[in-house]
Amino acid sequence: MPPLSQSTHEEMHKRLHAAREDLLGAVRARTTADEGDAPTIGPLAHEAQGDDRNTAEMIGHDEVHLAEHDAATLHEIDVALGKLEAGGAGICESCGQQIPDARLLATPTVRMCIACQERIEKETHTGRGPTM
């Protein structure tokens, strides 16, 4: 199997690192706060005097789910970066075939070729796919 071209390798590296930094910035914004303020992810951080407690809890719950999604996406990016550095990027984890450069550049965290991704989604009745 031929390795990734130098240009594809460099572009994936650039995109993955940029996505990682953007996502880390969003996570930091959600989990840090000015002195005296609660982070937006904290319990009841969205409740002010006179606010509806149920709405504040729902917004806080949504913030937790966003944080979980961000953590999963960061993991996918880190896996992709590890595979890129180890020379395993661009190889389908299911069938071992080469993943086309266009697919890798469109979604650098992709782990399977289109045929395997479609097969798995059909078998599991999901349409999740890569998130980045």
**The CATH number of the domain where 57 resides is what?**
1.20.120.910
30 pLDDT tier (thresholds 50, 70, 90): confident
pTM: 0.76
Residue-level pLDDT at 39: 61
Q: Which of 8, 111, 128, 7 is nearest to 69 (CA)?
A: 128
List the structure tokens of 20.
Answer: 């990682």
Q: What is the pLDDT of residues 101-120, one digit of tens each?
A: 999 999 999 999 999 999 99
Please report whether residue 93 resides in a domain: yes
* Parent domain of 120: 6-124
How many domains are contained in the chain?
Answer: 1
Question: Per residue in 39-56, pLDDT tens?
Answer: 666 555 555 555 677 777
Rounded to whole angstroms, how far apart are CA atoms 64 and 7? Answer: 38
Task: Report if residue 114 sits inside a domain.
Answer: yes
Distance CA 21, CA 15 (A): 10
Q: Does the residue 14 lie in any domain?
A: yes
Q: Position 51: which residue type?
A: D
Establish if 1 belongs to a structural domain.
no
> Average pLDDT, whole number, for the chain?
84
Contact between 76 and 20 (Cβ < 8 Å): no
